[in-house]
Amino acid sequence: MLLFRSEEHVDRWSSRWRQPRGGSLTMEQIWGLAQAWYAWDRRDPAWRRRTPEEVRMLFDSLGLKGEFWALG
């Protein structure tokens, strides 16, 4: 994960290092993703891995759409 101060900064970095742009998130999206992703306690015997559909729904709820966020 790389942190940038603006979309323009991302564009400059991508151009300079000849790297394609990946997905970008706001700080609010990062916080929302972290809270949702780590809310499940893996020590709980009832824990199970999220299904691809559950992950898609989580991404959609945070506005994470597009090719970068597509699963499989």
Does residue 72 carry a pLDDT above 90? no
Angle at the Cα of 35 from the Cα atoms of 34 and 41, rounded to 5 degrees: 100
pLDDT in tens, 20-70: 988 889 999 999 999 999 998 999 999 999 999 999 999 999 999 988 899
How far is Cα 18 from Cα 27, in angstroms, rounded to an integer? Answer: 25
Q: Identify the pLDDT of residue 61.
A: 95
Q: How confident is the model at residue 17 (pLDDT cuts 50, 70, 90)?
A: very high
How far is Cα 49 from Cα 52, in angstroms, rounded to an integer? Answer: 9
Q: Identify the pLDDT of residue 54.
A: 95
Q: Identify the pLDDT of residue 36.
A: 94
